[in-house]
Amino acid sequence: MPPAVGGWLMASGGSSATYGAKDIQVLEGLDPVRKRPGMYIGSTGLNGLHHLIWEVVDNSVDEAMAGHCTTITVVLHGDGACSVIDDGRGIPVDPYPSGPHKGKSALEVVLTVLHAGGKFGGEGYKVSGGLHGVGVSVVNALSTRLLAEVDRDGSRFRQEFVNGGTPKGGLKKIGPSPGRNRTGTRITFMPDPTIFVAEGTEFVPRTVTDRLQTIAFLNRGVIVQFVDERPGKEQKVTFQYKGGIVDFVKHLNASREALFSKVAHYEASEADQTLDVAIQWNTGYNEGIYGYANGISTVEGGMHVEGFKTALTSVVNKYARAQNLLKEKDDNLTGEDIREGITAVVAVKLREPQFEGQTKAKLGNVSMRSFVQKETNARLEEWMLENPTEANRIVKKAIAAAQARVAAKNARNAVRRKTALAGAGMPDKLKDCTSTDASETELFIVEGDSAGGTAVDARDPRTQAILPIRGKILNVERARLDKMLKNTEIQTLTLAIGGGIGNEEFDATKARYHKIVILADADVDGSHIRTLLLTFFYRQMRPMVDAGYIYIAQPPLYSTEVGKEKIYLKDDAAKARFLADHPHHKKEFQRLKGLGEMDWQELRQTTMDPSSRTLLRVSVEEAAVAEDVMSVLMGDDVESRKKFIQTNARDVRNLDF
């Protein structure tokens, strides 16, 4: 039984004996989006809420990439709605020519039919970032109200939709376009609070501005504006970068010490694909290569990044040999050596991108690898020959990294020998679980022996392991691997988790636990410990973050009583919601300053029991943004850190990436 156009088939319950045609439910139009929103926007939490903005903004960006849009504006209104405005060509409004939607305006079809748009064929868009999503129709489906306004052919057109995408009348021509020859689209939508129940429908300014700034970097010269009209949060920010990704690299290195002031930059194009690369090294030890395909952040890399890395290693070794900086007897520098301290943006555009990987953010087009490799071999070699001072510094830093790599290898071996001689594979502090099935086991990292003892009593010993750590671990943002491996707490973490250390060596498939839960107090010291641990995992066990294995526990900040029942509240926002529901509540609120103030039964119920706890999964959607935040928070630039904290203090709920 085939579904109607735009519909989905779903089977309802029933035994095999009674299961028949009556049990098949046809979801028409946008119904499947409301039935399973997570399939379309990832989640119904904050990430999913902001995805609504990205879906609309992506359409405007596609207009910019096609050369038809110069300004994109996002407005957060005081009533909770959001508008995205551009000066592109405007969504077509003429009648749809054929099929079941014949006679409806193209605008209505785009806003009410899944997989309808100008990016699935024809000449509407040569390159598009919108191919990875299902479009603005999803935004309509998950909104209580959506208003579309289009300026085309000297006229302004308007159509309104309510209650998850139902048209409130047809398309109307409401008058002339304001301004001479004005074209463009304005989409205003109100997220549906019955969909976004978990964390509400309040947009976070930092999340929006980070994404918009990246869009401005990747689309040289385009004006990208953010306007917040909400009471008490009013602001207007404008991004425009005439240097494009060269400015992007300078921005990413702003909180670090650059190895030299110049930025290597080259562009190339052939057939239906283009390449834009900018590179600068800093004096730090971390690698930062950020790939983008048609404006989409490819956090898992892909063919364009592979081609760049291969060519980079070849070019630097070739230059080092030619300049006699590497002697004949010396081994070649490894890619890891050369990429120490690098900040690079590799942005490509292509006609038919193929995305793959766990988050659909890995570019799979094989032709792009050879294209990027060929162009980098030629263009980067030319740049190094023209800039010998900078090129020599790159090689000398790589040679120093190679020496540190050897020292780190020796340190690793020393740790392994020490473990073997001790006759025990696991650290003494670790209170391990009995299960050896990594898919069901959890490791709680707890600060202090006292809280660790409480956690041991509160755990399920079959699946939950406890590792107490003492004080604050080493800030790995400022240390090479050989120094890290001499740190007792890092040795303990490495041995307990398994899989090795260092992103080049670490193997997430060998990790002994598929949930690593950071359990720290809900105070300033706890936040610092949490950030140090997140930095360690991001820098030295990044595959664990990418696999979704790192979590943050959410111990409650307050407790109170309703009748004889004790109620726990996660934070100030939860307390405010509680008071709104219980305006005459007279009992005091106890502020829980530390895990040590809870008995083991309370810790189990509120924080460790899978049936009643809340965990935050750590993820990285925008690698460059995460890199920037990590460097600012954990680096040496005190002023940048102070400014960041002052700017984002109000939105602290969203800082754990």
Among 275-289, 332-346, 350-364, 420-434, the least confident range: 420-434
Of residues 604, 619, 588, the one with CA closest to residue 555: 604
pLDDT for the residue 98: 72
Which two tokens mark 605? 């119920």
Q: Which of 87, 521, 627, 628 is catalytic?
A: 521
Confidence (pTM): 0.74
Q: Which of 336, 390, 442, 447 is catalytic?
A: 447
Pick the CATH number of 245-404 from 3.30.230.10, 3.20.20.70, 3.30.1330.60, 3.30.499.10: 3.30.230.10
521 is catalytic: yes
Give the relative orientation of helices 366-386 and 388-422 as an angle to the nearest 10 degrees.
Answer: 120
CA–CA dist 328, 321 (Å, integer): 8
The segment(s) of the chain belonging to CATH 3.30.230.10 are 245-404
Q: Which of 523, 636, 637, 656 is catalytic?
A: 523
| Beta partners for residue 152, in sequence order | 155
Of residues 505, 491, 541, 318, the one with CA closest to residue 409: 505
Pick the CATH number of 37-239 from 3.30.70.20, 3.30.470.20, 3.40.50.720, 3.30.565.10: 3.30.565.10
CA–CA dist 627, 249 (Å, integer): 12
pLDDT higher than 60, residue 176: yes
Sequence-distant (≥ 6) Cβ neighbours of residue 190 within 8 angstroms: 79, 80, 81, 82, 143, 144, 145, 146
For the four alpha carbons of 634, 639, 645 and 648, in that order, the dihedral sign comes to negative
386 is catalytic: no
The segment(s) of the chain belonging to CATH 3.30.565.10 are 37-239
Q: Using alpha carbons only, what angle is made at residue 56 by residues 52 and 61, rounded to the nearest 5 degrees? A: 135
Average of per-residue pLDDT values in the chain: 84
| Beta partners for residue 293, in sequence order | 296, 348
449 is catalytic: no
Which two tokens mark 265? 């930059």
More confident residue, 112 or 303: 303
Sequence-distant (≥ 6) Cβ neighbours of residue 450 within 8 angstroms: 596
For the four alpha carbons of 236, 242, 248 and 252, in that order, the dihedral sign comes to negative
Q: Which of 23, 386, 437, 525 is catalytic?
A: 525
pLDDT for the residue 613: 87
CA–CA dist 398, 242 (Å, integer): 31
What confidence tens digit (pLDDT) does each residue in 146-162 have?
A: 999 999 999 999 999 99
447 is catalytic: yes
More confident residue, 114 or 177: 177
Which two tokens mark 521? 């107090």
Among 115-124, 398-407, 409-418, 562-571, the least confident range: 115-124
pLDDT higher than 80, residue 523: no
Token match 């030629």: residue? 378
Backbone angles phi, psi at 483, to 5 degrees: -70, -40
Among 118-122, 163-167, 393-397, 545-549, the least confident range: 118-122
pLDDT for the residue 333: 96
CA–CA dist 81, 230 (Å, integer): 10
Q: Is 261 exposed, middle or buried (0-12, 13-18, 19+ CB in 10 A)?
A: exposed
Mean pLDDT, residues 511-530 taken together: 86
